[in-house]
Amino acid sequence: MANIQMKAVRKSFGVLEVIKGVDLEIRKGEFMVFVGPSGCGKSTLLRMIAGLESITSGDLLFDGERVNTVIPSKRGIAMVFQSYALYPHMKVRENMAFGMKLAGASEEERNERVARAARMLQIDHLLDRLPKELSGGQRQRVAIGRAITRDPRVFLFDEPLSNLDAALRVATRLEIAKLHHEMNDVTMIYVTHDQVEAMTLADRICVLRDGRVEQVGTPSDLYEKPNSIFVAGFIGSPRMNFLDGARAAKHGCHTLGIRSEHIDIVADGEGEWTGTVIHAEDLGSDNYLFVEIGAAEPLIVRRPGKLDHANGTHLNLRPQAQHLHRFDAEGRPVSQS
């Protein structure tokens, strides 16, 4: 429901500048994910959008209107944090309705919105329980439900799933994706450390680095066309392999990047690199071979299916030519010749 624009936005805490000039537009109804190393300013930027932190300089616009000094409750924003702060003595239903009650909504309206949010998140059967009677994932869904009932223009999530176990993360991730489809004109900004969450939920991902925007694009843009070694190494798991020296020079670059799934095992004499398997990780569906080729770090080679190469196996490897990433000494892409 709202388009969000940041223009030369900066934030300092005392003498420490943590947001160093961010220009970013988040489109109406878009699902934008912020990623970046710990301490790069993701939460701070989110809190500035929410109005929980002041903006040192620059402009924050909602639908073209400057909101720098608009108080949080007037911004039409709902925020869900990593730790779900539910009121322990209130039932789920009361927790979800509390904000609306404060805002003066009628009982009828409160009941209707709680019921709708509960249906969306499949927590209808939990409405009469206390928070302590819920699992972590259920509690986090109640926290999300409470945010929905406030009928926000903008949804902000700061690592909402990071306290959940793997199965619950997947289930709740699905709920959030569904929520985005159902509330398709609500703008969502989502901070995460999780590669899968970023890649699967985002319309676009914004990679932040040390208080600045490093790259913004669709998940596949960032995965296939990173505009720096930083983004190449940050997006994707396992991390992109990087090679330098003669191995890179052969391809006309300072650093050569190649993802683990883009390296083939080939016959003797047909490889570009040779090495020995020193470690293997079997994930069931696929496996990762760590191959020592005499570079700074072992190459990680991803193989579909069962593990088929034991430690000590000698391999000939060849990168897929169309998937090479070539970077110059500054870490920027070498233009394709």
Ligand X SMILES: Nc1ncnc2c1ncn2[C@@H]1O[C@H](COP(=O)(O)OP(=O)(O)OP(=O)(O)O)[C@@H](O)[C@H]1O
Question: Does 33 engage in binding with ligand X (CB under 6 A)?
Answer: no
Q: Which of residues 71-130 bind ligand X (CB under 6 A)?
A: none
- Residues forming contacts to Mg ion in the complex (CB under 5 A) are 43
Q: Closest approach of Cβ 331 to Mg ion, in Å?
A: 25
Q: Which is nearer to ligand X, 126 or 188 (CB)?
A: 188
Q: Closest approach of Cβ 41 to Mg ion, in Å?
A: 8
Q: Closest approach of Cβ 42 to ligand X, in Å?
A: 4
Alpha carbon distances (Å) from 186 to 2, 71, 134:
7, 20, 28
3-state SS of the chain?
A: CCCEEEEEEEEEECCEEEEEEEEEEECCCCEEEEECCCCCCHHHHHHHHHCCCCCCEEEEEECCEECCCCCHHHCCEEEECCCCCCCCCCCHHHHHHHHHHHCCCCHHHHHHHHHHHHHHCCCHHHCCCCHHHCCHHHHHHHHHHHHHHCCCCEEEEECCCCCCCHHHHHHHHHHHHHHHHHCCCCEEEEECCCHHHHHHHCCEEEEEECCEEEEEECHHHHHHCCCCHHHHHHCCCCCCEEEECHHHHCCCCCEEEECHHHEEEECCCCCCEEEEEEEEEECCCEEEEEEECCCCCCEEEEEECCCCCCCCCEEEEEECHHHCEEECCCCCECCCC
Of the residues 42, 113, 153, 303, which one makes contact with ligand X according to CB under 6 A: 42
Question: Does 44 engage in binding with ligand X (CB under 6 A)?
Answer: yes
Q: Closest approach of Cβ 34 to ligand X, in Å?
A: 8
Of the residues 18, 96, 258, 300, which one makes contact with ligand X according to CB under 6 A: 18
Question: Does 206 engage in binding with ligand X (CB under 6 A)?
Answer: no
The one segment of 37-45, 136-144, 149-157, 288-296 that binds ligand X by CB under 6 A: 37-45
Q: What are phi and psi of 328, to 5 degrees?
A: -85, -175
Q: Is residue 149 within 8 Å of residue 143, measured between CB atoms?
A: no
Question: Does 289 engage in binding with ligand X (CB under 6 A)?
Answer: no
Question: Does 252 engage in binding with ligand X (CB under 6 A)?
Answer: no
Q: Is residue 259 within 8 Å of residue 236, measured between CB atoms?
A: yes
44 binds, among ligand X, Mg ion, none (CB under 5 to 8 A by kind): ligand X
Q: Which is nearer to ligand X, 26 or 134 (CB)?
A: 26
The one segment of 40-48, 55-63, 173-181, 307-315 that binds ligand X by CB under 6 A: 40-48
Question: Does 247 engage in binding with ligand X (CB under 6 A)?
Answer: no
Question: Does 39 engage in binding with ligand X (CB under 6 A)?
Answer: yes
Of the residues 5, 43, 172, 260, which one makes contact with ligand X according to CB under 6 A: 43
Question: Does 38 engage in binding with ligand X (CB under 6 A)?
Answer: yes
Q: Closest approach of Cβ 48 to ligand X, in Å?
A: 9
Of the residues 13, 66, 135, 237, which one makes contact with ligand X according to CB under 6 A: 13
Whole-angstrom Cα distance, residue 218 to residue 199?
Answer: 9
Q: Closest approach of Cβ 166 to ligand X, in Å?
A: 20
Q: Which is nearer to ligand X, 38 or 184 (CB)?
A: 38
> Both tokens of residue 139?
């509690």
13 binds, among Mg ion, ligand X, none (CB under 5 to 8 A by kind): ligand X
Q: Closest approach of Cβ 57 to ligand X, in Å?
A: 16
Binding site for ligand X (CB under 6 A): 13, 16, 18, 36, 38-44
